[in-house]
Amino acid sequence: MYLGIDIGTSGTKTILIDARGKILAEAAASYPLYHPKPLWSEQDPDDWWQATVKTVRQVVEMARLKPTDVRAIGLSGQMHGSVFLNQRHQVIRRAILWNDQRTAAECEEMESRAGGRRQLIRMVANPALTGFTAPKILWLRNHEPRHFERVAKILLPKDEIRRRLTGDLATEVSDASGMLLLDVAKRRWSKPLLSKLELDIDLFATCYESEDVTGTLTRQTAAELGLSANCKVVGGAGDCAAGALGNGIVRRGLLSTSIGSSGVLFVHSDAPEVDPLGRLHTFCHAVRGKWHMMGVTLAAGASLQWFRDQLCQEMGEGSVAKVPNPKNMGRIKQGSAKSLYDRLTAEAAAVPVGSEGLFFLPYLAGERTPHADPDARGAWVGLTLAHGRGHLVRAILEGVTYALRDSLEIIRACGVPVRQIRASGGGSKSPFWRQLQADVLGKKVYDMMADEGPAYGVALLAAVGDGTFKNIEEACNACVRTAGETKPSPQAQRYYASAFPVYQGLYQSLKDDFKKIARLR
């Protein structure tokens, strides 16, 4: 059997699969997110570790496993986070996360040191963005020099968990791509860029392919988790690449959408294809010798969560009888009551297509694709006295889906084929949101038989690393299945095709004002 562990932003999820890819058990644990200043975002790595121990032990107990039953573990995690370790491999400060926006000046510094934006893209396939890891390292050097002087190693979130599991300092190419320090085409650290940034290559972990075994559990950790010290740990993948594996995005022509806290469009590529304007990310895929292009909107599900938490408290969560999901039958999992999200979505579904002229810009955390603008702000545009809560919610869902289409249009313009779209994440679990994706993106959208996100993808990588499958393509062909399809409504598709340029124009009209607002703040 194999474990997949995903160190997410809101919590850690662990799943157990057998050698045929069947999910046998799963558990999740949450932890806090810290915002010491506006647009800053941090977490304590010890919280990730406690959640890992808790969820692994829960899965082991639920499935009544013997220590030797689990042969290998795959790790996934939120990308771009920075874990700073001293010489004794102790955490120096809280990790700075992917959605932190403090590093605008450091992004300018990176491009200047590299010889300009185009030269930086030539070296690492991507421009400097505030969410990436390298600008965070420069920020630490510029603003917390006492901490920086103590730094001996810099790890990504999932790789900090690897260190605690095995004692090894290792990473892999898909997650390392998002540090903005990897020569993505050659799949190794970029010595020229590190030299220009005056960063020692020894600060960074050894870089593996995603299915490679990077170590085994220490005896102490194995005892703590109820596993064997012979249990292997494979390279794993960043959460976006891992989620794509769970959707079978391992060959040309396949694209996945994922709506969680952020929203991601992910397309497989056989070669390192780069958007010369740097609007899309080009990273190494978790498939050996392959790459992917990816667009990210920073506040997808997070926009709806913000609306629920800040403006809908009077509705309450409520509860109803738990209804079994046929997809989950035969699986060990805690049930959950119908959520407030379902009630809000039902209100949105009762509103006409287009929210009667109301638009929402989902830039509550700034924006990455296509604007790369940390000063972008969220906005409803077009409000009238005729609009109610259902209109506000529908406009949020439409705005997030328009943001995904921004990425799709760039992918098409780069000449990358898109033959099939597969949906995952929280947005895919809502039939209404799946229909909205089909209507706005203008193509059939397929949902997945097992939509367990990144944890499932890295569990499959663990099976590959243990030899159950010869490669991840074989694992996905054997284990990943689509469950159904959602066709676009011709009428809705026509409306959204005409409204999408209006949505795009709103940012262009407001971007200068966003910068003025940021300065006022």
Q: Do residues 70 and 1 touch, judged by C-beta distance below 8 A?
A: yes
Give the span between the Cα atoms of 69 and 56, in whole angstroms: 13
Q: Which residues contact 501 (CB under 8 A, 6 or more apart)?
A: none
CB atoms near residue 88 (< 10 Å)? 7
Report which of 480, 433, 489 is spatially closest to residue 460, judged by C-alpha positions.
480
Report, in angstroms and rounded to the nearest whole number, the Rg of the chain calculated over CA atoms: 22
Q: Which of 239, 373, 375, 439 is catalytic?
A: 239
Tokens (6 digits) for 469 = 């499958």
Q: Is 406 a catalytic residue?
A: no
Cis peptide preceding 326, ω within 30 of 0: no
Give the span between the Cα atoms of 448 and 445, in whole angstroms: 10
Q: Distance between alpha carbon 95 and the CA centroid of its chain, in Å?
A: 17
Give the span between the Cα atoms of 4 and 26, in whole angstroms: 9
Q: Do residues 99 and 365 touch, judged by C-beta distance below 8 A?
A: yes
Report which of 415, 435, 406, 390 is spatially closest to residue 500, judged by C-alpha positions.
406
Tokens (6 digits) for 119 = 């030269």
Q: Is 367 exposed, middle or buried (0-12, 13-18, 19+ CB in 10 A)?
A: buried
Q: Which residues contact 492 (CB under 8 A, 6 or more apart)?
A: 353, 439
Give the span between the Cα atoms of 340 and 429, in whole angstroms: 14
Helix-helix angle 340-349:389-413, to 10 degrees: 80
Backbone region of residue 340 per phi and psi (left: phi > 0; alpha: psi in -120 to 50; beta: other values): alpha
Tokens (6 digits) for 84 = 């700073």
Q: Which residues contact 299 (CB under 8 A, 6 or more apart)?
A: 261, 262, 306, 362, 363, 364, 365, 378, 400
Q: Which residues contact 219 (CB under 8 A, 6 or more apart)?
A: 229
Give the span between the Cα atoms of 157 and 159, in whole angstroms: 5
Q: Do residues 366 and 107 touch, judged by C-beta distance below 8 A?
A: no
Tokens (6 digits) for 127 = 């421009």
Q: Which residues contact 213 (CB under 8 A, 6 or more apart)?
A: 72, 232, 233, 234, 465
Active site residues: 239
